[in-house]
Amino acid sequence: MKSRESLIRLKRFQVDEKRRQVHQIETMIAEFARMADELDAQIAAEQERTGISDAAHYAYSTFAKAAMQRRDNLKASAEELRGQYDAAQDDLAEAVEELKRFELLDEREQEKAREAAASIEQAELDEVARRRRGFVIG
């Protein structure tokens, strides 16, 4: 019984860890998206300031080019993280299912133990009642 409790605690820990991992990836994706949006705003401001919005133009701002590259890198990283996020979500779902299986098994065994204890108690009460009847009648 003790080992099952330890196993359930371990499974709960694993579920919590996977939830933290999913949340961490979500946070990183959101942060990358926010940073990309900021870079988009900086690029637009730089294009407005210089009056050149064509990246192929010879006088296009090097700052805007560098910001575009950083933005594209952030978007690519966010896309990679989405793949990791999907995998982490799958791992979390699997861990939750496994935890539920162990908890259900534990519940069933506890119920069996309660039923066995109730049966033993009832048998003891029946024996006491038989003895009393025998004592009164005899």
Q: Quick one: tokens of 90?
A: 């799958």
Q: Report the C-alpha gap between 14 and 100 in whole angstroms.
A: 13
Q: Compute the CA torsion angle 41, 43, 48, 50 (nearest 10 deg).
A: 150
Reply yes or no on whether the pLDDT at 136 is more than 80. no
Cα 97-101-104 angle, rounded to 5 deg: 130
Q: Is the pLDDT of residue 116 over 50?
A: yes
DSSP state at residue 51: S
- Exposed/middle/buried for residue 120 (C-beta within 10 Å: 0-12, 13-18, 19+): exposed
Total structural domains within the chain: 1
The average confidence (pLDDT) of the chain is: 92
The parent domain of residue 112 ranges over 2-137
131: pLDDT strictly greater than 90: no
Q: What is the pLDDT of residue 138?
A: 47
